[in-house]
């Protein structure tokens, strides 16, 4: 997506509401003006790349996209050139050449088909045709590394690759395992002027379909859970009705707490990584987990594998069960137990 300057009222709300900045409204107004007019601000180095400001902006001006593009222009993160090249190469897409048979609905496993293979076990995935790897990976990871332009550059090939994968499928739908992939096909590619000749289906919607079709297998869990919103979920909140329906179908209660919905905290992976602010990251993680526990949550549920990996140890250390959303559904279906 792109920052839309004519939509921005320079009200400063997007920066004022940020969980990681401590700005009053006048300071926030000043810094959004600095970003727009000067192309620079201390905001660029303080930003944890959580996308929240895009959700806060009710004018849909996409202020985070302005921040991300300026971080690239200014080389804000001062990442070594050799490391940048390595990061570029790591997720560089290649042409999709497989001739897939229509054995079941097509799901993209994103880049997680090897590293997180355990998340694709069980009946939920048995009748799907699964694809994954760099050829279909959305590349939105570069929003976190100051390499914003790579996403637009690679978008046409990624969309074309999915089109090729769906060639023999009657249903032109792509189930997106990863929330960022759904965001890419639903919002980013169209914003770049790229025609998306298939319908992206979010994992939430697929899970609702499956659970409704297999109601007789569902055991109501009667659990209280906290949900960890990934940063990408902020940009497609319209599909959250499916999430509510999943929780209803399997009998779990999403506890009311401070750090949820618009006020959610990210997993802190960027702070632990190249931003190198480990102490702040752990402090924020502990706030998030304490908030969940203080409001009665037994488990923290994840939609993003990276969020799951980043927060898993801290959750377990504090007595909060970390569960990926598909594993939560498999527990309700009797395929897994809570360990």
Is 87-204 CATH 3.30.70?
no
Provide the 8-state DSSP code for 122. S
Number of H helices, E strands in the chain: 16, 8
- C-alpha distance from residue 256 to each of 230, 232, 259, 295, 296 (Å): 17, 21, 9, 7, 9
> Which of 101, 110, 97, 104 is CA-nearest to residue 140?
110
What's residue 175's pLDDT? Answer: 98
What's residue 338's pLDDT? Answer: 84
Other Cβ atoms closer than 10 A to 241? 11
State the Cα–Cα distance between residues 147 and 23, nearest whole angstrom: 27
Q: What is the dihedral of CA 14, 16, 18, 20, to 10 degrees?
A: 140
- C-alpha distance from residue 269 to each of 99, 145, 168, 265 (Å): 37, 11, 39, 11
Where along the chain do its domains lie?
Answer: 5-73, 87-204, 214-332
State the Cα–Cα distance between residues 307 and 165, nearest whole angstrom: 28
- C-alpha distance from residue 210 to each of 101, 110, 128, 246, 269 (Å): 22, 20, 12, 10, 31
- Give the 3-state secondary structure of residue 174: strand
State the Cα–Cα distance between residues 199 and 163, nearest whole angstrom: 11
CATH topology of domain 214-332: Rossmann fold (3.40.50)
pTM for the whole structure: 0.94
Task: Please name the residue that has the structure tokens 């999403």.
Answer: 254
What's residue 339's pLDDT? Answer: 67
State the Cα–Cα distance between residues 240 and 245, nearest whole angstrom: 9
**Percent above pLDDT 90 for the chain:** 88
Mean pLDDT of each 10-residue bin along the chain, 339 residues long: 93 95 96 97 94 95 96 89 89 93 92 92 94 95 92 97 95 96 97 97 98 97 97 93 97 97 93 83 95 98 96 96 97 91
pLDDT digits (tens, 9 = 90+) for 20-75: 999 999 999 999 999 999 999 999 999 999 999 999 999 999 999 999 999 999 99
Domains 87-204 and 214-332 share a fold: yes
């Amino acid at each position: 997506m792109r920052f839309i300057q004519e939509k921005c009222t320079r009200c400063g709300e997007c920066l004022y509401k940020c969980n990681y900045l401590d700005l009053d409204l006048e300071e926030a107004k000043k810094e959004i003006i600095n970003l727009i007019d000067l192309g620079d601000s201390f905001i660029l180095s303080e930003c944890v790349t959580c996308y929240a400001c895009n959700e806060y902006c009710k004018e849909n001006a996409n202020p985070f996209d302005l921040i991300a593009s300026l971080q690239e222009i200014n080389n804000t993160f001062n990442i070594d050139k050799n490391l940048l090249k390595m990061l570029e190469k790591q997720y560089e897409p290649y042409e999709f050449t497989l001739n897939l048979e229509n054995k079941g609905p097509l799901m993209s496993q994103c880049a997680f088909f090897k590293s997180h293979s355990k998340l694709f076990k069980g009946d939920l995935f048995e009748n799907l045709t699964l694809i994954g790897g760099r050829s279909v990976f959305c590349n939105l990871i570069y929003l976190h590394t100051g390499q914003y332009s790579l996403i637009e550059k690679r978008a046409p090939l990624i969309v074309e690759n999915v089109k090729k994968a769906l060639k023999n499928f009657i249903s032109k739908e792509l189930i997106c395992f990863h929330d960022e992939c759904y965001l890419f096909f639903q919002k980013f590619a169209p914003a770049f002027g790229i025609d998306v000749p298939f319908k992206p289906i979010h994992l939430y919607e697929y899970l609702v379909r499956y659970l409704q079709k297999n109601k007789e297998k569902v055991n109501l869990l009667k659990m209280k859970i906290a949900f960890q919103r990934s940063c990408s979920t902020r940009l497609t909140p319209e599909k959250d009705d499916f999430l509510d329906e999943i929780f209803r179908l399997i009998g779990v209660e999403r506890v009311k707490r401070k750090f949820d919905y618009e006020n959610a905290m990210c997993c802190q992976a960027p702070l632990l990584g190249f931003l190198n602010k480990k102490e702040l990251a752990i402090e924020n993680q502990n706030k998030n987990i304490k908030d969940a526990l203080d409001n009665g949550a037994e488990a923290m549920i994840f939609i993003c594998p990276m969020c799951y990996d980043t927060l898993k140890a801290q959750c377990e250390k504090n007595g909060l069960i970390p569960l990926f959303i598909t594993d939560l559904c498999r527990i309700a279906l009797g395929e897994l137990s809570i360990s």
